[in-house]
Amino acid sequence: MSHVAINPSNGQTVATHPEIDAKALRAAIAAGHRAYQKWRKVPIADRAVPLRATARLLRERADRYAVLMATEMGKPLAQGRAEVEKCAWVCEYYAEHGEAFLAPEEVATDASRSYVAYRPIGLVFAVMPWNFPFWQVLRFAAPTLMGGNGALLKHAPNVPGCALAIADLLREAGFPEGLFQTLIISVAQAKSVIRHRHVAAVTLTGSTAAGKAVAKEAGARLKKCVLELGGSDPYVILADADLDAAIEACVTSRLINSGQSCIAAKRFLVVEPLRAEFERRLVERMARVRTGDPLKEDFDIGPQARADLRDALHDQVRRSVAAGATLLLGGAVPSGPGFFYPPTVLTDVKKGMAAYSEELFGPVATVIPVKDARAALKIANDTAYGLGAAIFTADVGRGETIARDELEAGACFVNTFVRSDPRLPFGGIKESGYGRELARHGMLEFQNAKTVYVK
């Protein structure tokens, strides 16, 4: 079997990379374990050196990596460069703060000295998605490596070039040979990696179904998991919201990465007094979005990453319309090559429709009219997911209270769109997964919080 990169703009094969065999996989894990045994003893401050070099190389190669992402999964060039810059930021963030995050915590007891020491746990196996092919990997790798662990990567099969480029990048930045490895392997082989005695933990970003499968495999062997899964983020638009700002935030969030983001705005819950004006402006703004070749600079969104994903999205739209949703914009598969889908707006969406309960992973905005704030919050939380949520209101204090106490999600934003930030923990609840990435919380996920008690 092979991992095949197909250019989603034209459907043509870019490259083919064969999967490694069982013997090569065992050798890779063994090499990773040997590298980890040495790396864990390297002073924390010294671990920051290759991480800073990684940030420098990322910035130097931003254009190259942006072209690679555009070619393999359709990300517009400007967004690809922004992704590379964010990767550089997360590397610098952990290089600067990692030592403080891992500092021992003194605890007063009846001992002469007692404290919590943080120590690495071993090889962390990462299963990563295609939608942010550099960011998803570096946001786990930076704190994992800075924390003294090793890392093995199984990337999505449609972005093998990105996966191999990241392994080359980290090696060239100065990380020891074997400490971070990209494995071109199958799902069945991935199970064998989880089972391996030298693999201490697993992190996955992907679908809820994939998360459940990995959690089952890891749980059977009592191995730590961090899972960042799907989302159906609600954006609540109250009657006193700044409509101009809300529309811009909603459209920006819905269309980031051509709508292929777990924390994109997916459901717009709009109170009735604003409904007509919100829909008019939303359609007007979405209609101005330029769709085209991501390798050209004059387009806002590119194709969907794969043909099957575009077809599944269109099926969700068709099923929702058949169930009574109103199509205000888009909703038709364009002719011609590539896996493009137009910016689309649905309204009159109700419980029982695909657009209400399923995650729509593409440029489709779903409007759910609601009577008032209470109804909006009830519907916002009426989902299997719990990744991100946002609320728009002129009463910032009220918005903060709702975000903190009433919205059921791992990240709740007021008067702006949901995003990840190296300085803040990121992750979800319910079927959006568990555990946290980023900030100090993310670094400590794969550390042994070791109690040291001296009488």
End-to-end alpha-carbon separation of the chain, Å? 58
3-state DSSP of the chain: CEEEEEECCCCEEEEEEECCCHHHHHHHHHHHHHHHHHHCCCCHHHHHHHHHHHHHHHHHCHHHHHHHHHHHHCCCHHHHHHHHHHHHHHHHHHHHHHHHHCCCEECCCCCCEEEEEEEECCEEEEECCCCCCCHHHHHHHHHHHHCCCEEEEECCCCCHHHHHHHHHHHHHHCCCCCCEEECCCCHHHHHHHHHCCCEEEEEEECCHHHHHHHHHHHHCCCCEEEEECCCCEEEEECCCCCHHHHHHHHHHHHHHHHHCCCCCEEEEEEEHHHHHHHHHHHHHHHHCCCECCCCCCCCCECCCCCHHHHHHHHHHHHHHHHCCCEEEECCCCCCCCCCCCCCEEEECCCCCCHHHHCCCCCCEEEEEEECCHHHHHHHHCCCCCCCEEEEECCCHHHHHHHHHHCCCCCEEEECCCCCCCCCCCECCCHHHEECCECHHHHHHCCEEEEEEEEC
Contact 310, 87 (CB under 8 A): no
What is the C-alpha separation between 4 and 17, in angstroms, rounded? 6
Residues forming beta bridges with residue 13, ordered by sequence position: 6
Contact 426, 440 (CB under 8 A): no
Residue type (1 letter), 213: A
Which residues are identified as catalytic? 228, 262
Cα-flanking dihedrals φ and ψ of residue 301, to 5°? -130, 155
Helices 187-195/22-39 angle, 10° precision: 40
Instruction: List, in order, residues 6 or more apart from 266 with CB less than 8 Å away.
Output: 231, 232, 233, 234, 254, 359, 360, 366
Residue 363: both structure tokens together: 């440029």
What is the bridge-based pairing of β-strands 224-228 and 433-434?
antiparallel
